[in-house]
Amino acid sequence: MSEPEVSSGGNTAFEVPHHVAIIMDGNGRWASARGLPRAEGHRRGVEAIRRTIRAAGELGIKVITIFSFSAENWSRPATEITELMGLLRRFIRNDLAELHKSNVRVRIIGEREGLDPDIGRLLTEAEELTRNNTALTLVVAFNYGARQEIARAARAIAEQVASGKLKPADVTMDTIGGLLDAPDLPDPDLIIRTSGEQRLSNFLLWQSAYSELVFVPTFWPDFDRATLEAAIAEFRQRERRFGGLVAKTGS
């Protein structure tokens, strides 16, 4: 698939990756550096999500995945979890209509079982309302962990083998990939992590096998179109060989 060429806002056009995934890190440190409560950092982080979705659509990116809440985040203080769940509820209730109007399709990956019923209903509502939209796919990784995702796929394979529907010798990479949370979506071409940390933190471990990783020092609440464009510019300088000797220019 060839990558669309878009304007960077100046006189130079550049190509963008088809799928960009973002580990949104640094809300708490952003707030601490300003003497503000962590809740304010999370609130400003939601504003950064809005900016990024808008910029992604303008740049011609077709899929953007955001790591909104990890399976490990439940270990945070109860007050912070309550604040994060409140932000999620408000984001869906306040922004879903605008996303739908902008032809954005919302997809959710992560474990649904055990969530508060109202959260589960909101996630389902977001997916159902926007199911037929085509401009941009927004993938929200919520209650998500890559190891947990792979374990769910392995469990499904084990059940198929036990029932006689699948032979062990027939299990392939495609078998596993087809049982992940969003098997129809392409793997991310580019994964961006903010705040200067340089690790994946249990995010899209299977799908990131050949992704380009760009780590930026910017805390997530300060992330904007210029930061996104700079990360894409770095991505364009990489030679993507996918294990071969010749670089591939398309994604």
Q: How far is the C-alpha of 214 from the C-alpha of 53, rounded, in Å?
A: 18
Checking DSSP bridges between strand 104-109 and strand 136-144, what pairing results, if any? parallel
Active site residue 73: yes
Lookup result for tokens 């982080």: 45
- For residues 96 and 35, give the distance between their C-alpha atoms in angstroms, rounded to a whole number: 32
Contacts with 65 (C-beta within 8 Å, 6 or more apart), sequence order: 19, 20, 21, 22, 109, 138, 139, 140, 141, 188, 204
- 25, 181, 187, 189: the catalytic one is 25
Is 222 catalytic? The answer is no
Which candidate in 11, 27, 73, 224 is catalytic? Answer: 73
Dihedral sign from CA coordinates of 28, 34, 39, 40: negative
The CA–CA distances, whole Å, from 131 to 6, 128, 138 equal 26, 5, 11
Q: How many CB atoms lie within 10 A of CB 167?
A: 9
Q: What single-letter DSSP state applies at residue 135?
A: S
CA distances from 56 to 48, 53, 224, 227 (A): 12, 5, 10, 12
Q: Mind telling me the catalytic residues?
A: 25, 73
